[in-house]
Amino acid sequence: MLSDRSRPVIEATLPVVADHVGEIAKRFYAHLFDAHPELFDGVFNRGNQAAGTQQVALAGSVAVFASALVQTPEQVPERLLSRIAHKHASLGITPAQYDVVHEHLFWAIADVLGEAVTPEVAAAWDEVYWLMAYALINQERGLYSARGVRPETVWREWEVAERVEETADVITFRVKRVDDRLVKTSLPGQYVTVRVPMPDGVRQPRQYSLTRADDGEHRQFSVKRVRGGDGPDGEVSNHLCDHVGVGDRLTMSLPFGDVVLDDSGRPVVFASAGIGITPMAGMLSHLAAAGSHLPITLLHADVDEESFALRRQVIEDVRRLPGATVHTWYERGAHGTLPVDGTHAGVMDLDDVVLPEGAVYYLCGPLPFMQAVRSALLDRGVPARDVQYEVFGPDLWQADSQTEPAPDAVHA
């Protein structure tokens, strides 16, 4: 909890910090990597840096955390902290790295804001940072302990056993273990970090959802090729799609992720768009393997049927579930050959389907898609606590700040 001494200082300075968060982040990362270029090897994704998407992630999350401490001092933003902790654990982040980040972040704050950073202001923001850092360190320690690993031992080698071209831009990799270590079962909906050596020798990390239930020997994930457009192409995704085949070895983390399948026995609704189908495929696979009889509804939006990644696996699993239905929406028209319960044209519209009472909802896809679906569900009276969503990339704080309603609405 923020001290009485620091709270008014944070309230007064939060607007100016928020206004300058982009420049603070830019200078922070430049200063950090100048002093510690080794952090590009296995920790930070330089593709995100080049695209600019990483630039405000850390500084922005600190600002959101500070805002939450001021607005709701009796609680911390648990969802944001949990997401960051799971991502950090999948990268093997250590407590010592928080000291490094602190040094360079506060240098950047002082460099950008200049004389406005008085000793009193510096002390107040220092308190915010360490409240957040210690909360994350404690959560990450618990995640490591629960899996019986240390940060440096979250990694393991796997061999590619199968490579499947799902669509023109999506490849599924099925990997098998190559040692005698036990494969601890992942929770439905979790992801792994894949750490890939680039041609220059630098290892680059990227998170991918597990798209099939574990069988004790194999894991499966799907990769969408990232075409840069106005920015750079995705370094990891393109390397995996272009250069990794059967027999090659990959380094992967243990599974992490806090958006996992609810086990309360309630109806389940999955709503996805594009490559957002990947965590849904993993959860459906778990349900099919368990022989679930729950009422399950899958809603998926895509460009067209040929763009629907994992469609054969997903539909097969849905048809193995006696209480499951599936509806699709295609931008290019309501055309398709899949045995679904409804095919619709255009963007996803929840008015096209009947949703079960008392369901728990899972969303994954582009941020505007999740915002629209979540808003539609809340307008229907679905409690905010019953809508979970998965976000990938460095913009976790932005997703929460843009997708979550105001605190009063959450707890109404």
Catalytic: which of 140, 166, 235, 305? Answer: 140
Q: Which of 345, 377, 379, 347 is nearest to 363 (CA)?
A: 377
Q: How far apart are CA 343 and CA 315, in angstroms?
A: 13
Question: Contact 104/112 with Cβ under 8 angstroms?
Answer: no
Q: Which of 380, 277, 259, 262 is nearest to 328 (CA)?
A: 277
Task: Find the helix packing angle between 57-71 and 7-19, rounded to 10°.
Answer: 140
Q: How far apart are CA 42 and CA 62, in angstroms?
A: 23
DSSP string over 234-273? PHHHHHHHHH--TT-EEEEEPPB-S-----S---EEEEEE
**Residue 322 DSSP SS3:** coil
Q: How far apart are CA 401 and CA 219, in angstroms?
A: 33
**Residue 342 DSSP SS3:** strand
φ, ψ at 330 (rounded to 5°) = -125, 130
What DSSP element (H or E) covers 159? strand 155-165
Residue 328 has a CB neighbour count (10 Å cut-off) of: 23
Residue 126 has a CB neighbour count (10 Å cut-off) of: 14
Q: How far apart are CA 66 and CA 58, in angstroms?
A: 12
Residue 98 catalytic? yes
Residue 363 has a CB neighbour count (10 Å cut-off) of: 27
Partners of 327 in the beta sheet? 299, 342
Catalytic: which of 98, 129, 144, 362? Answer: 98
Question: Contact 253/86 with Cβ under 8 angstroms?
Answer: no
Residue 157 catalytic? no
> Active-site residue numbers?
98, 140
